Amino acid sequence: MAPDDAAPLPATTRFLVVTIIVSIALHALALATMALVIQPGLAVDQPVAERASVIATSPWLWRLGWLPWQLTAASDVAVSIALVIDRQRRPGAVWAWACLPLTLAAVTADQWGETVLVTSFVDAARALGPAPDAAAAAAYVELEAWTLFMTGTCANGTYTLMSIGWLGATITACGGLARNRWLLGLGAIDLALFTGCSVTNWWVTTGATVEGGYPGFAVMTVFNALAFPLLCVWMGLMARAFLARRQMNPDPGNSHSA
């Protein structure tokens, strides 16, 4: 089909593209707040009392810093729902449906951890004081490590599985592997990085102590620093792939292709 004769995108596909773009913007905002607002309160190379005081003295700034991450989780749900709606009885439907329960499971773990981070964790930081005893410091690190385990291993690992579904649905819907080599290549690299994030986060958080800190935290930080910006790039390619569908033949209306 020539570009001048390209079929208009269905409203469901346009909505999907918009949700992807919004999600990319929210991911970028969340990365900025992580670096500028959240990181000082999770500076695990600093003494426990020092990083707790950052949260205790600016609790609403800490909570505000987590808001973009909560919105990002909501945007992931929106993308998965939009993908299901767009792919109904079209190529990629099986992949799209597989994404939805994975997204909901990831968001449940993510928001469980983040809800604790902006509620009882703030109370724990306030209660710790400048010179905590060993038991209080250990309890604080235990809660801190649990929240990081929920968000960085349970949620992140499930989001990674969700991303496999996003890739599968996009490649199936948008012309196959031949038309989506960059999407597949960058997506595969990013999935490997996020797998590394999840595994190292498990190692780091399960080994956390007051005295020894978080062994391997720097490795996990490198994985995250590479994985999240690359995620924004391949999500942009995902949106581009669906926009390019206007130059392809329309979906067969009653296709049950995976």
CA atoms of 87 and 216, how far apart (whole Å): 41
Angle between helices 59-86 and 156-173 (to 10 degrees): 30
pLDDT of residue 3: 47
Question: What is the model's pTM?
Answer: 0.89
The answer on pLDDT for 189 being more than 50 is: yes
CA atoms of 130 and 7, how far apart (whole Å): 65
Dihedral sign (CA 33, 40, 231, 13)? negative
Look over the chain and give the mean of its residue pLDDT values, rounded to a whole number: 90
pLDDT tens digits for range 232-254: 999 999 999 999 876 555 555 44
pLDDT of residue 211: 86
CA atoms of 76 and 234, how far apart (whole Å): 14
For residues 178 and 21, the model is more confident at: 21
Q: Does 257 fall in a domain? A: no
Q: Does 2 fall in a domain? A: no
The answer on pLDDT for 168 being more than 90 is: yes
* Domain, as residue range, for 85: 7-247
Question: In sequence order, what DSSP letters do the residues of 191-221 get, joined into one string?
Answer: HHHHHHHHHHHHHHHHT-BTTTB-TTHHHHH
Q: Which of 19-28, 73-82, 221-230, 243-252 has the lowest mean pLDDT?
A: 243-252
pLDDT-derived band at 51, boundaries 50, 70, 90: very high
For residues 229 and 45, the model is more confident at: 229
Mean pLDDT in residue range 184-190: 94
pLDDT > 70 fraction of the chain, expressed in percent and rounded: 92
Structural domains of the chain, count: 1
DSSP state of 92: T
Mean pLDDT in residue range 19-24: 97
> Which of 154, 162, 137, 250 is closest to 205 using CA atoms?
154
CA atoms of 33 and 24, how far apart (whole Å): 14
Q: Does 254 fall in a domain? A: no
Q: Does 256 fall in a domain? A: no
pLDDT of residue 257: 45
For residues 246 and 162, the model is more confident at: 162
Q: Does 253 fall in a domain? A: no
